[in-house]
Amino acid sequence: MAKTALDRAERLFSAGRYAQAVTLLEPQVPVYRESQRFYYVLGASCLRTGDVSGAFAYLKRAEQLLPGNADVALALSALQVRRGETEKAVEGYLRVLEERPRDRLARRALSLIRREGSPERLAALVESGRIARIYPGGFRIMRLALPSAALALVLAAAWLLLPLAVPAARRLLAGPPMRPGVAAVVLSSSERSAPVTTGGGFRFVLTEDQALSGFEKAKAYFQAYRDNAALVEINRLLGSNASQAVKDKARTLKAFVGAPDFRTVRDAPSFAELGKDPMLYDGCSVSWKGMAANVRAEGRSLAFDFLVGYDRMKQLEGIIPARMAGAEVPVDRPLEILALIRSADGSPRLDAVAIHELLQER
């Protein structure tokens, strides 16, 4: 019997050929969109190759499809260690040890956090590559698709007998609430059979697999509350040779973009990235540091130039026009701005949502 793409990817993962596994699996997202095992292998492979954003999206999807799986928890916890979120990682590893008390990877990771859990030491681990010691590897086939009545009874008993452990595990597993409306936006079989068009001029020319994959990635990013990453996928589809049906469904997904918040901005582009392709980041939120200059009243709003990266008056990354309604804009002071990028016409500008004045270093 011919092996599936997922079977081949598992063999590549087991052989340490992680980049090849990613290359093989990413175009298959539409095919395996409900497979926990697929998202685990793809997420763990992304983690091994250093694609942190991709690893998070795919592993969170695996977790959503089968909450509580220890292998997925190990991979997510390793990702949290890499990102400096050690408290969350410790909760994850302790949950794994409740299910598998002798798990060597969880114990090794906890030991590493105790020894080298400071931000400086973690950064050094990432830079040196030694962080990979706590990554999933030497692939063990997951039993995601093999439910067991006995296992269910054991888990139910543990749930009843360990009430003190439940609150922390529940908080870890719950995360942000799912967005059921996102899952409801699907492409019909006819729309999937012809996802791209031919002829005409487009900013991006996509293959059928790339168009379908981009649509599914946007949905996965929204479910992981990575709205900026989802918007990039949507904007790429809207500027591509994707069919009108795919574009219409992509526009529907845009309605799920949440309000920006200083605490939750993720996947924000840098000023340099924005300059390369402004239209790709239209609608994305950013949290940038800098200073305001040339503040002036325009109607009921204040318009100004934001000097990106100039909060310490040492290095100017660039200047971008901005607008703020209903608040003062401090001048010649270090600021942090929360704003939405508006660049549908190709000329980027910022619609400021909030501005924080930063403490000046003495």
Among 107, 256, 96, 246, smallest CA distance to 176 is for 256
Provide the whole-model pTM: 0.54
Q: Which two tokens stand for residue 9?
A: 């990817």
Q: Is 359 exposed, middle or buried (0-12, 13-18, 19+ CB in 10 A)?
A: exposed
DSSP notation for 247-310: HHHHHHHHTTPPPP-TTT--SPPPHHHHHH-GGGGTT-EEEEEEEEEEEEEETTEEEEEEEET-
Task: Mention the CATH class of domain 271-357.
Answer: mainly beta
Give the pLDDT of residue 173. 41
Separation of alpha carbons 189 and 295, rounded Å = 53
Separation of alpha carbons 56 and 79, rounded Å = 7
Average pLDDT over residues 335-340: 93
Q: Which two tokens stand for residue 174?
A: 């719950």
Q: Is 351 exposed, middle or buried (0-12, 13-18, 19+ CB in 10 A)?
A: middle
Separation of alpha carbons 352 and 305, rounded Å = 11
Q: What is the pLDDT of residues 90-101, one digit of tens each?
A: 888 888 888 888
Domain residue ranges of the chain, discontinuous segments joined by +? 5-174, 180-254, 271-357
pLDDT of 152 higher than 60: no
What is the DSSP pairing of strand 285-298 with strand 318-325?
unpaired
Beta bridge partners of 324: 302
% residues pLDDT > 70 (the chain): 87
Which of 156-160, 170-174, 286-290 has the lowest average pLDDT?
A: 170-174
Separation of alpha carbons 22 and 37, rounded Å = 14
Give the pLDDT of residue 146. 37
Among 321, 349, 326, 350, smallest CA distance to 338 is for 350
Separation of alpha carbons 38 and 304, rounded Å = 48
Separation of alpha carbons 64 and 43, rounded Å = 13
Separation of alpha carbons 224 and 75, rounded Å = 16
Task: Report DSSP state, residue 134.
Answer: G
Residues 6+ apart with CB under 8 A from 354: 262, 327, 337, 338
Radius of gyration in angstroms for the set of CA atoms belonging to the chain, rounded to a whole number: 23
Q: What is the pLDDT of residues 163-211, one digit of tens each?
A: 544 454 444 444 456 677 888 889 999 999 999 998 778 999 999 999 9
What is the average pLDDT value for the chain, to the nearest integer? Answer: 84
Higher per-residue pLDDT: 25 or 166: 25
Give the pLDDT of residue 273. 95
Q: Which two tokens stand for residue 53?
A: 């954003």
Among 27, 37, 347, 61, smallest CA distance to 215 is for 27
Give the pLDDT of residue 243. 95
Q: What are 116-120's contacts with CB under 8 Å, separation 24+?
A: 117/86, 119/84
pLDDT of 212 higher than 90: yes
User: pLDDT band at 160, cuts 50/70/90?
Assistant: low
Helix or strand (DSSP H, E) at 158: helix 149-161
∠ CA 51-119-78, nearest 5°, is 40
Separation of alpha carbons 115 and 139, rounded Å = 26
Higher per-residue pLDDT: 288 or 52: 288
Give the pLDDT of residue 169. 42
Q: Which two tokens stand for residue 46?
A: 């992304």
Average pLDDT over residues 244-270: 89
Task: Report DSSP state, residue 4.
Answer: P
- Say if residues 60 and 75 touch (Cβ distance below 8 Å): no
- Say if residues 150 and 86 touch (Cβ distance below 8 Å): no
Give the pLDDT of residue 126. 79
Task: Mention the CATH class of domain 5-174.
Answer: mainly alpha
Integer CA distances (angstroms), 186 to 36, 152, 291, in order: 19, 32, 43
